Amino acid sequence: MSVHTTPFEAEISLTADQPPELPEHIKLAPKDLTYISDRLQLIEPTILYNLIQQYIQSNHDPNTLLIIDVRTSEQYIHDHILHSIWCGAIGEKSTFTIPYDIEFETLENLVVIDNSAVTNLDEHSIACKYGIAIAPRLKGKIMIVMGGYERFSAEYPFLRTEKVNYTSLELKSVHQLPSEVIPLLLYIGCQGMMRNVDINRDLKIKSHIFAFPKDDYTEQRGISYLHVNFNDVTDFNTLFNQCFDFIELYRHRAERTLIACPLSINESAVLACGYLMKRYRMSLLKAYSQVKKCLHSIRPNTSLIRALLEYEKTLFSDVTLYSNAKEVMRLVRLESSPFYL
């Protein structure tokens, strides 16, 4: 059975003579820049990269993500982002194609991408025009990728595809990649991702930190590693500092590090939080929120969160910078494990 390149099954004809008409009240984009900034949000390519990984992790849940490509149909057919659908304007008409079978009311993330023009919220850009046109259908903001397709495809060329139609089996065969905590520097993932040679090559990973048995680790040529055994740790502050120094060593070489644990939701997230806290002088609450944005499924255990709270005290002499321990613990305990794990 053949399906569209997106699991949303939006029946968009790239050769249709007449696109569906928009309601009269949303045909023209408002000129009020305040309205535009309230409904549109510029995002870095790394955010879209992470959203795609979360979409794959959710088994292609149609409520998780919709990527709309508003470039020309010829550009889309030549190559486009995996899982995106084409909804550009046809000819010189002022209306856009809007997928009719998407449940916009329950859609969590909608991303619009054009070719390269968008560097600010300019109501004259194609992406912003489309975002304003579709905004009345959504509750949240419409995200627009800075630098457009040219920048995204340059940073993540392995997410480009020429295929327009995919079978359901082909979609399922697309593997989730590590989440990008710091662009072009720090990634977190699971044990299987670290073992995958293609993933390490595509992301240009040069160093590994892993928190699973050393016997299960497979050394790869050109990649250095640091093994962390959480079961034998007596001093977590030393552990966090050791991992920080290891990542910094490769950061100064402009090389990237992947942190992995069995499910990518516990130890790897904790080590990423520790690195953010020390490098950016960031509170645990802010660091945790940052990692959570990159990978929604993280769920560190409470003992490791307490270790991070103690680590925070060694980093900041000003007690006003400390996270509220009760707030942090409450945040972690109230989160439920994702249904797809």
| CATH code of domain 2-172 | 3.40.250.10
* DSSP assignment letter at 105: G
Burial pattern 269-307, b for ≥16 Cβ within 10 A else e, equals bbbbbbbbbbbeebbbbbbbebbbebbbbbbbeeebbeb
d(CA 297, CA 320): 29
What are the distances in angstroms from CA 254 to CA 91, 110, 159, 202? 44, 32, 22, 16
Give the domain ranges of the chain. Answer: 2-172, 179-334
Q: For residue range 4-47, list pLDDT tens digits in order.
A: 333 323 332 323 333 334 343 334 444 455 667 788 999 999 99
Q: For residue range 82-103, list pLDDT tens digits in order.
A: 999 998 766 555 567 777 778 8
Q: For 124-142, what is the HEC assignment?
A: CCHHHHHHHHHHHHCCCCE
Mean pLDDT of the 185-202 span: 95
Show the tokens assigned to 120: 């600010």
* pTM (two decimals): 0.84
pLDDT at 236: 95
pLDDT at 12: 29
Q: Are 301 and 262 in contact (CB under 8 A)?
A: no
Lowest mean pLDDT among 2-6, 87-91, 184-188, 267-271: 2-6
Please provide the average confidence, as pLDDT, over all residues in the chain.
Answer: 83
Residue pointed to by tokens 């579709």: 134
Which of the pair, 227 or 73, is modelled with greater confidence? 227
pLDDT at 95: 63
Residue pointed to by tokens 């959504």: 138
Lowest mean pLDDT among 1-5, 30-34, 136-140, 253-257: 1-5
Mean pLDDT of the 104-118 span: 85
Q: Are 208 and 225 in contact (CB under 8 A)?
A: yes
d(CA 335, CA 279): 27
pLDDT at 255: 96
Q: For residue range 271-318, list pLDDT tens digits in order.
A: 999 999 999 999 999 999 999 999 999 999 889 999 999 999 999 877
pLDDT at 8: 28
pLDDT at 292: 93
CATH 3.90.190.10 fits 179-334, yes or no: yes
Q: For residue range 305-317, list pLDDT tens digits in order.
A: 999 999 999 998 7
Residue pointed to by tokens 């925070």: 312
